[in-house]
Amino acid sequence: MNVFSKGFNVVALAVLAASCSGAGGGSIHPSSGPVLARIEEKIGKDMLEKVRAEEAAGAYASNEVSPVVVLADDPSWGPSDAPVTLVVFSDFQCPFCGRLADSVRELKVRYGDLLRIVFKQYPLPFHQEAMPMAQASLAAHAQGKFWPMHDRLFSREDMDEAQIKVWAEQQGIDWAKLVADLDANTYEARVMQDMKAGEALGVRGTPCSFINGIQVSGAVPVDTLAAAVDVGLARAWLAMQKGVAPADVHAVLTGTAKGK
């Protein structure tokens, strides 16, 4: 089969599904067609219809969805226009956060570029090393190395400074700059900004996740997270049926779009 012909058929199926859905609303954004088809293939029509019925019954009213704002400088993985955004408030010294990090890593494999992961800092006050670790991750982020540092901090390996220094230099991290940032508390205010945002959203412990604005608390199993992502994909699909562009899905579903 001609690969270009196959691609055309996928888009055509998405447009056909949109035109027969009865969803109403505006015209489908030109960039939505392939994404709509991939979502339908990933989660199936039964899930789409289930969530459509739940949405019609008010299951995802504004009081059920948190207004989670993603900032331009938040550490993130995945495309900014992914149909599902998972925002996690986390503490690097929290063992439950480490378990959730393992589950999130599996989600990356399962969903690929249908998913965006955004990390928010929430070091708990009774974890003495949590604030320095949070700042270290942001210092690494400033050097384009957040995710390697994230994985290293959650690895629960020996945290001896000499060993971390060797590891950091192998990763291409400027160790002297990172240490200087820690000594100067360069990123303390940025950590506090995340914590304040979390408190406003009702975060009281870690880990706490929001999947297209729907809160999921605790170190839940990966299949529980995946079920929530599937609901997020269905909600995104319905929004795109109504004309929302993929890049705007998270802001629209969480009520944080400009002008709101």
Taking the C-alpha atoms of residue 218 and residue 154, their distance in angstroms, rounded to an integer, is 16
| Shared-domain flag, residues 9 and 106 | no
Residue 96: in which H helix or E strand, if any? helix 95-111
Peptide bond into 207 cis (omega under 30): yes
**What's the sign of the alpha-carbon dihedral 154, 156, 162, 168?**
negative
pLDDT digits (tens, 9 = 90+) for 36-62: 999 999 999 999 999 999 999 999 987
| Shared-domain flag, residues 213 and 150 | yes
Q: Is the pLDDT at 2 greater than 90, yes or no?
A: no
Q: Is the pLDDT at 255 greater than 50, yes or no?
A: yes
> Residue 213 in contact with residue 249, Cβ under 8 Å?
no
| Shared-domain flag, residues 189 and 216 | yes
> Residue 230 in contact with residue 47, Cβ under 8 Å?
yes
The pTM for the full model equals: 0.88
Please tell me the predicted confidence (pLDDT) of residue 201: 97
| Shared-domain flag, residues 86 and 171 | yes
Residue 120 lies inside a defined structural domain of this protein: yes
| Shared-domain flag, residues 150 and 181 | yes
Residue 259 lies inside a defined structural domain of this protein: no
pLDDT digits (tens, 9 = 90+) for 174-233: 999 999 999 999 999 999 999 999 999 999 999 999 999 999 999 999 999 999 999 999
| Whole-angstrom Cα Rg for the chain | 20
| Shared-domain flag, residues 31 and 116 | no
Residue carrying the six token digits 């100067």 = 184
Residue 91 lies inside a defined structural domain of this protein: yes
Residue 142: in which H helix or E strand, if any? helix 130-142
| Shared-domain flag, residues 101 and 175 | yes
| Shared-domain flag, residues 29 and 112 | no
Please tell me the predicted confidence (pLDDT) of residue 25: 52
Residue 7 lies inside a defined structural domain of this protein: yes
Query: How many CB atoms sit inside 10 A of residue 132's CB?
Result: 16
Collapse the DSSP code of 121 into the 3-class scheme (helix H, G, I; strand E, B; otherwise coil) and give the result. strand
Residue 88 lies inside a defined structural domain of this protein: yes
Taking the C-alpha atoms of residue 215 and residue 135, their distance in angstroms, rounded to an integer, is 25
pLDDT digits (tens, 9 = 90+) for 12-32: 334 334 333 333 356 899 889
| Shared-domain flag, residues 83 and 202 | yes
How far does CA 134 lie from the centroid of its chain?
18
Strand partners for 119: 88
Residue 70 lies inside a defined structural domain of this protein: no
Tell which phi-psi region holds residue 73, choosing left (phi > 0), alpha (psi between -120 and 50) or beta: alpha
Residue of 79, 76, 70, 74 whose CA lies nearest to 113: 79
| Shared-domain flag, residues 121 and 28 | no
Residue 132 lies inside a defined structural domain of this protein: yes
Report the mean per-residue pLDDT for the chain.
89
Residue 260 lies inside a defined structural domain of this protein: no
Domain that holds residue 112: 76-225
How far does CA 247 lie from the centroid of its chain?
14
Query: What is the CATH number for 118?
Result: 3.40.30.10
- Domain count for the chain: 2
| Shared-domain flag, residues 178 and 51 | no
| Shared-domain flag, residues 218 and 239 | no
Q: What is the mean pLDDT of residues 110-133?
A: 97
> Residue 121 in contact with residue 90, Cβ under 8 Å?
yes
